[in-house]
Amino acid sequence: MSPGPPEPPGDRHLPPDLPRLRTLEHWLTLSLDRVRKRISFLEQRQREQAHGAAVRPPVHDWIIETGIGQRREPLYVHVGGCHMAGKRQHRIDRAQAIRALTDGVEACAHCRPDTALHLLD
């Protein structure tokens, strides 16, 4: 009996019999499906992030945070986008931020609008 055709190059690391090759094929198919699902998930997330960035309102340069109650007095001046700014915030321009800080409204200790505006004590 002849030994059969020679093995193709690079196939020495594969199982020699059909049942194990079929098992390997099944495992690789399942793995490929998982990889494709992960790719699809990440592509969808990228699309959602790009859409979110496109429709997100612009970050204001300066924010004033007000207190609660009827008077709603200014409490803090923040640099736009400061994570410490509360929910009661209003957009202000550079001149208003400088005026508020020089009139005694506290500067946020985290974003330091007084430093960003180059104000000295």
pTM of the model: 0.55
What would the mean pLDDT of 16-29 be, rounded to a whole number?
A: 96
Which tens digit of pLDDT belongs to each residue from 53-109? 999 888 788 999 998 877 788 999 999 989 888 888 889 999 999 999 999 999 999
For a pLDDT cut of 90, what percent of the chain falls above it? 62
Quote the radius of gyration of the chain (alpha carbons, Å): 32
Q: Give me the residue spans of the domains in the chain.
A: 16-56, 62-116
Per-residue model confidence (pLDDT) at position 11: 80
- For 67, residues 6+ apart whose C-beta sits below 8 A from its C-beta are 73, 74, 75, 88
Q: What does the alpha-carbon distance between residue 97 and residue 64 come to, in Å, rounded to a whole number? A: 8
Task: Output the average pLDDT for the chain.
Answer: 89
Q: Residue 4 CA to chain centroid, in angstroms?
A: 58
User: Are the CB atoms for 106 and 75 separated by under 8 Å?
Assistant: yes
Is the predicted pLDDT of residue 121 greater than 70, yes or no?
no
Strand 62-66 relative to strand 74-79: parallel, antiparallel, unpaired?
Answer: antiparallel
Other CB atoms within 10 A of residue 65 CB? 20
